Every structure is written in structure tokens, then in C-alpha cells.
Structure 1
Amino acid sequence: MTTPLIHPGWAQPATNMVTGYSLEMTAKDIGSLRAAAPAIRPTAPVAVTFLPNEDPAARIAAVKAVRDLGFEPMPHFSARRIGSAGAFEDYLAAAVAEAGVKRCFVIAGDPSTPEGPFTDSMALIASGAFERHGIAAIGVGGHPEGHPNMSEEQGFAILEAKCAEIVARGMAPLVVTQFAFDAGRVLSWLAALRARGTDAPVRIGIPGPAGIKTLLRFAARCGVGASTAVLAKYGISVGKLFGSAGPDRLVDELDRGLGPEHGPVRLHFYPFGGLEKTVAWINGYDRAHRSRAPERTV
């Protein structure tokens, strides 16, 4: 499957692993985004999550803040949390009209019973709403460390079907993975994805620096599993839950392991410890590696 690139920057060599990064935020993080904005790279994609019990107006305000601060907004759409087709269209139309949104991210969402007519993210893609509103790119989820409700084979098959449907509708697919602790599993998953013929750009989910308890809490909530050995390799000791951990080892291992066979890859940061702390870590990594690392083509 041949797919267009999401952004011209993907076609340029990356100086190091954090070149071309993207970020994630919630509707409550506008203040944090404003505080971190001077240190965030211009035009960086910033995803705005779709959490329960949020006012849609708050999500639109966050999406608009991303655009107003000079970044590229990518609002989430959680299929099972959308109450009606009208609510879906209204939110999408407002995001386009008020923030010039060109890319969106779709997920099924956590509820076992849909709150409206959409049972999964494919239902949103197949509705035709995104292309009607001029959306150019659609992000879909990938799960290198597995999904609690499906086998690896099912995960790949569903991901491939979504990418094919997005391409058929004249848009560009982008895969954004759940955050992971295990670089080896991420690399194996990427190699398998490419071997099956999916060449869509992939953003690997990276947990930003945060307290160890915070990281483990989000991991449990998101279904990310890791053995004691993997956590220790990442820098987390289950016997010492105080203190913080950053993604240095994970990113370094990805840097060493990624090759042309893994296709176009960038990083997507989940700032569990806060946007300012995550952006500071990214810029520190960039400074430390920019002068000595050879150019990458991932």
C-alpha cells in the first residue's frame, strides 16, 4: 500500500530521534501549553484528547489554542463516546472552522457499550464526514505491546483495513502507537507491520519524564503491560516507587535499533509529567545529540 506523507518534514533526514516530534494534551492543558510554547518547535503537531465528562466547547478551545500558538492541531475522536452523528459533525465542523484542522485521530474509546451510533473508529472513518470537511490526514492507533481485547494478528488486520479505507477516501493515514516501555517489542512490531505491506508513517508513543507512580498508573489505565525486567531496563524499580523516570534509555535503544526496514518513523510524546517537563527533556536530548549524531532517514 503506497501512502502519501503527512507533512513535508517527513521527507527530510532527521538529525536525531526527537526531530519532528509531536505532543499530546488534554482540554485542561491550555495554560501548560502556553507556558511551554516558546520551547516547542514551530508547527509541531499537538493532539488534543477526547476524554469523558468534558464540555465539547473546552475541546474546541484547546484545539484553537494549539493553532493560535503556531502549532498543528490534531483533535481526537472517540467513537463510542460520541452521542450522535450530529454531535460528531458539529465537533468536526467547529474544529475545522475555528482552528483550520486538517488532521484528526480516531479511536474506538473505552466504553463497552457505545453512547451513540458509532461502535468503533472504522465507523467514523467510513461515515465520509472527514473528507467532506476537507481533512487531509487521519491518525489511527497501533499497539506494539499488545491490545487487551485482540490478538496481534487481529490488531494488524484491523490497522491495515483502517489505513486502506483512509487511502480509498483520498486522505493520508498515520499510525500513532500507544506508549511503550520495551524498545525491542516496538522494533519487532514495526518490522512486522512493514513486512505486511503497511508503509504509512508511524509515530511511536513515548512517555515523557514523570513520577514512577504516575507512569505505572497511566500504564495500567491504558493496558500497557511490562515485566519487572522491562521496567528495570527502562529505569523503573517496582521496589522503589518514589522518584521519577525519563525515556532516555528507551529512546536511545530505538535510536540504535531503527533502520530503513522500519520505514518512516517519528516520536509522539505523552507528557504524563507535564508539557513543560516533557518539552525540556526533548530539547535537552536534541542538544546533546544534534552535534554528534549522523543524519537519519527514519
Structure 2
Amino acid sequence: MALLNFRRAESRPEGPDPRVEAFLQDYSIEVMPRTAAKIEDFRALLPEGTRVYIAHIDGVPIEDMVATARRLARDGFRVMPHFPARIIPDKATLGDWIARYQGEAGVSRALLLGGGIATPHGDFDNSMQLLDTGLFDKAGFDRLHVAGHPEGNRDIDPDGGQANVAAALRWKQAFSERTDARMAINTQFCFDAAPIIDWVDGLAAAGIDLPVHIGIAGPAKLQTMIRFAIACGVGPSLKVLQKRAMDVSRLLLPYEPDDVLGALAAHKAANPDFGIARVHFFPMGGIRASTDWAVAHGGAAARPAGA
């Protein structure tokens, strides 16, 4: 009988990489009402005060969004619901949503974005129009984040370029300079550090100094990740997943963001002025998988039960 040859496991340094540990401080995460409903206690998963974004998918009732925001705020998290321009029919509806989040859940932060559907439901097509209403300022919202796309967005630039996306970010930079809004850019998830670094450096060269919260896909099955990447229009870095899928030895292993976060953390450590300020997790494989990965790599842990 032939002997099976097993490769000796590579030795790894004990403990997390201090550069990754520093990079993960004050990370944020995204949830949806339907996935949040399956979590018995977020306090057992997330550090106290974690910024939690609530994704508003077309068709989700505002009542479910507000209820999720209320629950998370009650448990001590910093809640930032999505306001997708293209699913908001008019200014009156926008005002109602703001009032409900504020009055029922104490929310004073928001992520404004286009919304990812082809045909707007009403008067709004983009987040700049939401900002221009003045309703967030009137309500005293003190932090407004906007979307960023390191690899472009064909909903905005159908030719695959960056012209319209770049123009929108310049507009938002100017808005931040003429108002009291505390703003940041939350990006789509990517799998390759190189295009992210180029994009963030390009923002700085264009005079855009809004802090970047880089979107990172949390651990998930490789097939799941590829499906999400294609659906969300992730471009150049999709090749990273496709290359991995061709490696039979790694095909059945879950995707984990070690490579991309390791490279970004190393770049940040070597270039302290680099524009990425925070990491934002998209929990493709579940919230626990993302938080467990973050804790294992130096991110803050949830408080033990009863603490």
C-alpha cells in the first residue's frame, strides 16, 4: 500500500500581526433585518459600541429597518441605516424615514447611497440629491457616510470607467467642506489590495481627504463569494477568487480576507497618512464568521456574558 505524504504545516508566528491588529481597531459590520432577526444577542458577538450598518434592500419595509435600528441602539451599538436614494419615492418619505429613525431609535447617523436598482422609484437617483434636501442637517444628523467604489460602478459609469464616480466624490468632498457634516467613504468590498491602494492614493491626489472605510468580505465559502462578487459588479479583484477556484487544494476551503487585509495593513503601517481609516466587514458567510475572524486577528472581542 502506498504511503500518503503529508506536508508539514508551515510555522506561523504566535499571536496576530500587530499591523493587522492596529488596522482592525474600531471595525464596523453590516447587517440586514432578516439576518439580524436570527441573532439572539448581538452583544455576545460584537464589541460594545461597534458601528453597525443596516442594509436597506429594495422591498424591505421601513418598519423592519427601524425595529432593527431600535434593537441595536438599545444594546449599545452605533447604528447607521442605509438610505438608498433610488428606493425613496419623494422628499416627504425621506423626511418620514429620518424622523422615524431619530424618534424611535435615537439614530443620528446614516449611510447615503444610490441603491443599486436600475430604475428609481421616484424623485431621487443619487445620494447627492439626498444631501441637497437639507433634511439630514435639519434633523441634526452628525455623521453622514457615502458610498465608494475602488473598482468602479457600472450603474454610475456604464462604460466601466471612473469619471462619474470620481465627479460624485468631488461633489461630496465640497459638501463636507461647506457644511458641518462629518463624512467618510464606505466602499464596496474588494479582494485585491493593489487596486484599492491605487484608488485611495488617487483620491488624495485629487484633493479628496474624506476618511475611507474599506469594505472587506468576511469569511465565506468560495462559491458564495464568487456569486456575490459577480452580482455586485466587483471587477479586477474578482480574478483573485477565480484564480483561487482553479487551485484544487484551496477550492473547498472557505475564503478568508487574510491576504488583502494583511497587504493593506502593511501598507498603512509603512504609510501612516494613507487614507484608509477603518475596516468595514460584509459578513457574506455570517456575522459570527466575520467577528470570529476579526478577534482571531487582533480585533476587539465582545464582552463575556454577564460581564
**Normalising to structure 2: TM-score of the pair?**
0.83
After superposition, the Cα gap between the structure-2 partners of 1:264 and 1:110, relative to the gap in structure 1 and judged at 3 Å, is closer
Report the CA distance between 1:176 and its aligned residue.
0.4
After superposition, the Cα gap between the structure-2 partners of 1:244 and 1:98, relative to the gap in structure 1 and judged at 3 Å, is same
Instruction: Tell me the SS of whatever aligns to 2:137.
Output: helix
Report the CA distance between 1:15 and its aligned residue.
5.1
Amino acid paired to 2:184: L
- 1:1-298 to structure 2, matched below 5 A, reads 16-148=22-154, 149-150=156-157, 151-226=161-236, 229-231=239-241, 236-238=244-246, 242-258=252-268, 259-286=271-298
Distance 1:108 1:263 in 2: 23
Distance 1:109 1:36 in 2: 26
Report the CA distance between 1:31 and its aligned residue.
3.4
Q: Say if 2:173 and 2:209, in contact at 8 Å, map to a contact too.
A: no
Distance 2:238 2:232 in 1: 18
Report the CA distance between 1:168 and its aligned residue.
2.2
Structure 1: unaligned runs, 5 residues or longer: 1-12, 289-298
Distance 1:61 1:238 in 2: 43
Q: Say if 1:194 and 1:261, in contact at 8 Å, map to a contact too.
A: no
Distance 2:24 2:45 in 1: 14
Comparing 164-173 with 94-103, which one deviates more in the overlay?
Answer: 164-173
After superposition, the Cα gap between the structure-2 partners of 1:238 and 1:62, relative to the gap in structure 1 and judged at 3 Å, is farther
Instruction: Tell me the SS of whatever aligns to 2:37.
Output: helix
Instruction: Tell me the SS of whatever aligns to 1:115.
Output: coil
Amino acid paired to 1:158: A
Report the CA distance between 1:139 and its aligned residue.
0.7
Seq. identity, %: 32
Instruction: Tell me the SS of whatever aligns to 1:123.
Output: helix
Q: Say if 1:167 and 1:173, in contact at 8 Å, map to a contact too.
A: no
After superposition, the Cα gap between the structure-2 partners of 1:239 and 1:205, relative to the gap in structure 1 and judged at 3 Å, is same
Instruction: Tell me the SS of whatever aligns to 1:266.
Output: strand
**Normalising to structure 1: TM-score of the pair?**
0.85
Distance 1:138 1:210 in 2: 29
Q: Say if 2:30 and 2:54, in contact at 8 Å, map to a contact too.
A: yes
Report the CA distance between 1:248 and its aligned residue.
0.9
Structure 2: unaligned runs, 5 residues or longer: 1-18, 301-307
Comparing 104-113 with 127-136, which one deviates more in the overlay?
Answer: 104-113
Report the CA distance between 1:144 and its aligned residue.
0.9
Amino acid paired to 1:199: D
Amino acid paired to 2:226: L
Amino acid paired to 2:145: G
Q: Say if 1:48 and 1:59, in contact at 8 Å, map to a contact too.
A: yes
Distance 1:28 1:283 in 2: 24
Distance 2:197 2:179 in 1: 29
Distance 2:136 2:49 in 1: 22
Instruction: Tell me the SS of whatever aligns to 1:224.
Output: coil
**RMSD of aligned alpha carbons:** 2.2
Report the CA distance between 1:232 and its aligned residue.
6.2
Q: Say if 2:49 and 2:77, in contact at 8 Å, map to a contact too.
A: yes
Q: Say if 2:21 and 2:299, in contact at 8 Å, map to a contact too.
A: no
The count of corresponding residues between Structure 1 and Structure 2 is: 274
